[in-house]
Structure 1
């Protein structure tokens, strides 16, 4: 059986062009694998149709933009040069003509112009850029290139390097969309405007934590990525990430992230962190209604380590070991109930007892060091200690366990923590921007904002309703 596939293009004014054959197939039916189009045949068909369709669209667009915008006179053509337009269905080869500018207008500009550069500034179709960005945010660049080549007719125009360049270009555009530098929601705002704000939807919780990946420049060292997850009471969670030290204005990024999620200045905001200096500084002065809470999980982890030392001490000196375990239990109880004064006193007393203790326990020195570090940790975060028991009974979050899962989802599964992949700070930071939006489902909305034509009727209705 022979199949001929014809293409007929109708112009914007309703004129019908000629009918052209774009594919002729010979199908022999001997098994299930012979039914319908094969992947190779569908690729060839899509590539041929795409070439003809894009050519017709570009020719029509050039015809409309060949005239002087002031006088309306038709411009003379100087020649053309080849242009490659990368689309979802193959790389389309086009001719970009150059037109002479009218002499009376050459004094303040170039002698020739290429109108097609306005239509194709990036030489890549937005839909293809979106798919490359999405898949490269989930899997390695080479795997994303192979995936696209498997299902789309783009074998000759896609590789790991091209995909990486396109992804970083999209990420740089996301960076360019960030709002101006602001250290808090109240900076430059009039407090009287608060009376006009609607009633907030409820408390928003944002957890921040850090992870480390190997540095490409100095492969013996690692650098830190800070990632987080913000969760409103009613609404979808969103991810945020950046490279610590590379991003010079992290507070602006946090503010812009919260604004895109609908946060307003008079809304309650809770930061839950591990108490590190870097992430703790981000929570300062973001909003007058914000608070910083030291993660209970990290407190208990440190107390667990101290308890293991105390159990080792008990095997060598029973009475001091039992007394130390009881004292650690008291310290944990004080911290759970937010009694920072009693907790600090108990920590100081236990440290003095350990300093004066004489024992054959081989890890006593390490025990003392861990106890000193715990005292510094609690003292540095004293303002972030709350009544964890009361907040837990009221159903509010006291732990950043959800951020630990975020670190695994955002960092470990893409940056190959176990495989020790190496990254530049710029490459890791930019990829974090696209990966965060891919994971929380907001990447498509970002592209639709840049290219409104990508928005289908259903999405357009949802966006208008949300606005």
Structure 2
């Protein structure tokens, strides 16, 4: 039972297993500690899951809205330390149950102005308290109800719903990176079209540049109009054009127009934000997705995960990466605060 194991050993198991495989964690522990030879990857995994379950048990109840006071109370709060920027994006890992499919993981990174950054991770199809998790994550970084918070997302419904009603002064912006990524794909289709119908291909390429300019300046209405016009233009070419990817191009443009329509309310003036040194893209979250997911979950493509197993590992891994795991263990086991990471190794061997 994990309760019969030295807290120092539990901490080392959890920390190392969140960074490398369970098998490598056992090898590392055997190299540095005179531990029981019966220790195996399954035992380490079970111990990590129990620590993650303890974190889960401390989460409060899920609620659709965490703003339960009036604006008059917000004005009485002390001035916040500054704006908080929160980026949320997703990735996929292979499913253990259905080995030909994948399931989604959401990864977030919050950047307060005067505090340390923190990571957030959850499995969408497993987590029953995603909004509570995000709320407590932000509160741990000093969130106040009178604080400006900017959420940058890819515009997906799951991500948008997660961040909704999270703070009174929150702004929700569509990430410029995901817009340009879609436009780049459309631009590649247009280049291919030029080889089959030069006039149409060049006309459509010009329209794509026009749409990008409108989006850069926050003119979602004009960009939507020209996106729909572009879709109509392509539809009219379908019978006479020999371009083999025309149907896929037409569908991609229609999907882009729908994407802009659904997220029109979240399209700011990117040019103005850029000139004011305000964030417009989630490049910092793209790197976070790689750090949190790729380097532990998908680096070896044959690795498959259960939803529960991935979710539990995420809770420990994110705290390891942002440096808060040690403090959490010290809260659970006050005796740990007397040791640093070096002496904890000696205590685990005792």
Q: TM-score, normalised by structure 2?
A: 0.93
**Pick from 300, 303, 317: which aligns with 2:180?**
300
The offset of 1:185, in angstroms, is: 3.2
Which runs of no fewer than 5 residues in structure 1 stay unpaired?
Answer: 1-84, 86-120, 460-467
Does residue 160 of the first structure (1) align with residue 41 of the second (2)? Answer: yes
Distance in 1 (CA, whole Å) between partners of 2:4 and 2:115 is 37
Distance in 2 (CA, whole Å) between partners of 1:279 and 1:194 is 26
The offset of 1:156, in angstroms, is: 2.4
Distance in 2 (CA, whole Å) between partners of 1:458 and 1:195 is 42
Distance in 2 (CA, whole Å) between partners of 1:249 and 1:344 is 35
Distance in 1 (CA, whole Å) between partners of 2:241 and 2:62 is 57
Partner of 2:228: 348
Structure 1 pair 328–231 and aligned structure 2 pair: CA distance change class (3 A): same
Structure 1 pair 431–457 and aligned structure 2 pair: CA distance change class (3 A): closer
CA contact (8 A) 1:340 1:385 kept: yes
Distance in 2 (CA, whole Å) between partners of 1:437 and 1:165 is 18
**Pick from 58, 62, 67: which aligns with 1:186?**
67
The offset of 1:417, in angstroms, is: 4.1
Q: Matches of residues 33-432 of structure 1 in structure 2 within 5 Å?
A: 122-187=3-68, 189-357=69-237, 358-432=240-314
Residue by residue over 1:184-213, the C-alpha shift from the partner in whole angstroms, topping out at 9 and shown as x without a partner, is 3313x3544324421111111111111111
**Pick from 446, 460, 463: which aligns with 2:328?**
446
CA contact (8 A) 2:75 2:146 kept: no
Distance in 1 (CA, whole Å) between partners of 2:64 and 2:134 is 10
Distance in 1 (CA, whole Å) between partners of 2:200 and 2:61 is 58
Which of the pair has the greater relative contact order for Cα pairs under 8 Å at 6+ separation? Answer: 2
Partner of 1:82: none
Secondary structure of residue in 1 paired with 2:90: strand
Distance in 2 (CA, whole Å) between partners of 1:171 and 1:288 is 31
CA contact (8 A) 1:185 1:265 kept: no
CA contact (8 A) 1:184 1:255 kept: no
The offset of 1:220, in angstroms, is: 1.2
Which runs of no fewer than 5 residues in structure 2 stay unpaired?
Answer: 342-350
CA contact (8 A) 1:269 1:289 kept: yes
Secondary structure of residue in 2 paired with 1:369: helix
Distance in 2 (CA, whole Å) between partners of 1:402 and 1:336 is 20
Residue by residue over 1:85-123, the C-alpha shift from the partner in whole angstroms, topping out at 9 and shown as x without a partner, is 9xxxxxxxxxxxxxxxxxxxxxxxxxxxxxxxxxxx810
CA contact (8 A) 1:283 1:291 kept: no
Q: TM-score, normalised by structure 1?
A: 0.70
Distance in 2 (CA, whole Å) between partners of 1:289 and 1:295 is 19
The offset of 1:161, in angstroms, is: 1.5
The offset of 1:416, in angstroms, is: 2.9
CA RMSD of aligned residues (A): 1.7
**Count of residue correspondences:** 339
Distance in 2 (CA, whole Å) between partners of 1:289 and 1:184 is 14
Distance in 2 (CA, whole Å) between partners of 1:362 and 1:160 is 51
Distance in 2 (CA, whole Å) between partners of 1:453 and 1:184 is 37
The offset of 1:420, in angstroms, is: 2.6
Structure 1 pair 130–342 and aligned structure 2 pair: CA distance change class (3 A): same
Between structure 1 and structure 2, the one with the greater Rg is 1
